[in-house]
Structure 1
């Protein structure tokens, strides 16, 4: 019975923590919004996964045969679902990368700098980083003909921000958590918030090397429908967040004192919350 109660307690904590952490305050800094949204999104699924792992490791509760088997079956099913989901996403990512490899790698001149990327011979205006840990720059011929060199440099600086933060890799795993726990409250709202903040962070990275006004003009110029059907390994300049949030990105760029994104992985309270989510694993050594 103890294991079944542990599952119920973990699910209740996951739901309540989501309810208490949403909505993310909009009057704080972009960096604080990022940490709060990421913590609210990641901690509940981690608690559920850690609980499932601990129950499977401890085995079925022999004192309560029926309840022990039920809790073991629920935990096994949840982890099997998670493993199957990420296996599917890996297959989808590899398939997408193979399809993109048929496009040639070209050197693109943007003023004084030269950028290397794969060019898709399509008229749509599009650019993105696609891949996992090591992502490739993918641009369309339509983008190259749509923008001049200065605005192209701004777009490529934004994409360099995605590459610097390894956004395609981290959002691959976050996207899996999104699908795995879509039944939790506010999963989709937090996901859209993270996509927006990811783009703001890449904008702010680009603003270190290009003019913010030029970057804002580029953003306004290339709003278009995405070409990529999978967002798991794609970080695009204009299509990752809903168009209704365009104003927030432009405002962040044109702010008198832009809140620059830092390279810190997280704040102390964020790591504390993650550590608390993993506490079910501590019960394993004390199980009899």
Structure 2
């Protein structure tokens, strides 16, 4: 019976990704994109946890249980744990490398200084991220443009993007086999930047931000989940989307959508099977 639960979860997770099309990218699609990304992997995770909680002994209303499903669930969770440890180790190496760079002031903010001609600025870290910037940024941008870019990076700190995208990146690592995995991940990344742009545009001139974005070189020094950069590596069309959004009329921030988050309940359904095991 547990094997049937596993197969059902796999089919449902795969089907959701196939039949849940990508929406047009705008700043109000953040919650929808996040739920679209999270529901299939959470469904698989909750199924594995439920089977492990029930164990190989006993039976369910619909049939007997056994070791096969329990071993499959345990193996899946072990793979996730190993992927998480490797992902954490790479993140720790990045932060360890970052600690070797000197700290200097930039517009009354302390940041790690990179002596490179490539314009670069980002927030890096976990819950409390650090500002990282290069000499190329100081050489390329005016003080007014740098001040505007700093507000964008403050938005990443406000939303704790480096922390949350570390975990989302871990999920992305073990769900690449699902349909539309890379497309949805890229959608999340661009929506993260659009959200930070909107937050910054409410505090500084949006035109100044758009000009700065056009000047930024598309070759970041880091491109991992610990890095929330003003200008991550992206197709030119995505940069144009951000510029168009900055030049458009300011939008109101969308509130929490109960309809979107109600989909998370679907991912928790496997836990309801635990009481039927005895």
The alignment's TM-score, normalised by the length of structure 2, stands at 0.93
CA deviation after TM superposition for structure 1 residue 18, in Å: 1.2
Report what 1:77 is aligned to.
75
Q: How much does 1:246 deviate? A: 0.8
Q: Does the CA-based 8 Å contact 1:223-1:239 persist in structure 2? A: no
Check conservation: 1:89, 1:232, Cα contact below 8 A.
no
State the secondary structure of the residue aligned to 1:278: helix
Contact 2:118 2:217 in 1 (8 A): no
The answer to whether the aligner puts 1:267 opposite 2:257 as a matched pair is: yes
- 1:101-150 Cα offsets, whole Å, 9 max, x none, are 111111113xxxx2221111111111111011111010011111111100
Q: Return the match for 2:230 from 237, 258, 261.
A: 237
Measured in 1, the distance between the counterparts of 2:181 and 2:159 equals: 23
1: distance between equivalents of 2:38 and 2:57? 29
* Kept after mapping to 1: 8 A contact 2:83/2:174: yes
Deviations 1:218-264 (A, max 9, x none): 00011321111x41211111115433311110111111x232445x5
- TM-aligned CA deviation for residue 283 of structure 1: 2.1
Match for residue 22 of structure 1? Answer: 21
Flag structure 1 segments of 5+ consecutive residues without an equivalent. Answer: none
* Structure 2 portions without partners, runs of 5+: none
Q: Distance in 2 between matches of 1:89 and 1:212?
A: 36
2:54 corresponds in structure 1 to 58
Aligned counterparts, 1:84-123, within 5 A: 84-109=82-107, 114-123=108-117
Summarize the Cα distance change of 1:66–1:285 in structure 2 as closer, same or farther, 3 Å threshold. closer
C-alpha displacement of 1:3: 0.3
SS of the equivalent of 1:60 reads coil
Answering whether residue 207 of structure 2 is matched by residue 217 of structure 1, we say: no
Instruction: Give the total of aligned pairs.
Output: 276
Q: Which of 176, 184, 208 in structure 1 is aligned with 2:178? A: 184
Q: 1:69: Cα distance to partner?
A: 2.1
Q: What is the CA-CA distance between 1:208 and the residue it aligns to?
A: 1.5
31, 45, 48: which one pairs with 2:44? 48
Asked whether the 8 Å contact 1:106–1:116 carries over to 2, the reply is: yes
Identify the range of structure 1 (83-92 vs 151-160) with the bigger mean alpha-carbon deviation: 83-92
Alignment equivalent of 2:267, drawn from 269, 277, 281: 277
